[in-house]
Amino acid sequence: MSPELPESAVPPPTGAGESCPAPSRRTFIATSTAVGGAVVAGGVIGGTSLVGPEEAAAAETPPSGRVSLTVNGTRHTVTVDNRTSLLDLLREHFGLTGSKKGCNAGACGACTVLVDGQRHNACLTLAVRLEGAEVTTIEGLADGDELHPLQQAFIDQDAFQCGYCTPGQIVSGVGCMQEGHTGSPEEIREWMSGNICRCGCYVKIVRAVEQTAGRK
């Protein structure tokens, strides 16, 4: 007499017309993860790079651009990372450290320069967008040993304390005068409100601009 198999060990009957049951969602995810991990591991262990050498080199080299501009009367042509700000170009490439990096977010005005006669926050201005532009920094205001009238007025009015914001304040004041916004102390304060003085020398700064504009 042949021994009988327990019911759980008996394979289910398969008919000729029956199809294999579809895998469950859990089985599908587990199988896909295992296969994917094996492919990646095989590439890493076998030393196979997933990208070619040209693609890898391109990924390591940031995009750059060539720009020609005039800074304080001197023409410069440089190739820089496209992400380089005008402030970093001035300080790190040209050695013009008068423009200060305060907030680096355009909120304090310490980096104010003139671009084609207009006031700009150098930290928010991309250098590669200034092709053919003329830039004036605090270093370019004086005529040799002769100070710009507003620079002298800052000394006369004692319009600074720590001095960190002073370059931006002076350049902004020059721009303010060129724009014709010096009709009153209130107008000067309004049009120079983007320049922050943490020492609180605003009254004397306004007096210095008034002196230079011929109102005092």
Structure tokens at 22: 């579809």
What is the rounded distance in angstroms from the CA atom of residue 94 to the CA atom of residue 36? 51
Q: Which pLDDT value is given to residue 174?
A: 98
pLDDT bin (cut points 50, 70, 90) of residue 192 is very high
CB-based contacts of 49, cutoff 8 Å, min separation 6: 43, 56
pLDDT of residue 180: 96
- The per-residue pLDDT for 62 is 81
Strand segments, DSSP code E, in the chain are 64-71, 74-81, 112-115, 118-121, 134-136
Measured distance between the N- and C-terminal CA atoms of the chain, rounded to whole angstroms: 125
Q: 161 falls in which pLDDT band (50, 70, 90)?
A: very high
What is the pLDDT of the chain when averaged over all its residues?
Answer: 85
Q: How confident is the model at residue 4 (pLDDT cuts 50, 70, 90)?
A: low
pLDDT of residue 61: 78
* 122-137 pLDDT tens trace: 999 999 999 999 999 9
Q: Answer whether residue 86 shows pLDDT above 60.
A: yes
Which residue in the block uniquely carries the two structure tokens 């496209």?
A: 82
pLDDT per residue over 49-77, tens digit each? 556 666 665 567 789 999 999 999 999 99
Secondary structure class of 43 (helix, strand, coil) = helix
pLDDT for position 60: 72
State what percent of residues in the chain have pLDDT above 90. 70
Q: Quick one: average pLDDT of 102-117?
A: 97
Overall residue count recorded for the chain in this entry: 216
Largest CA distance in the chain: 125
Q: Is the pLDDT of residue 193 over 70?
A: yes
Mean of the pLDDT values across residues 139-146? 96
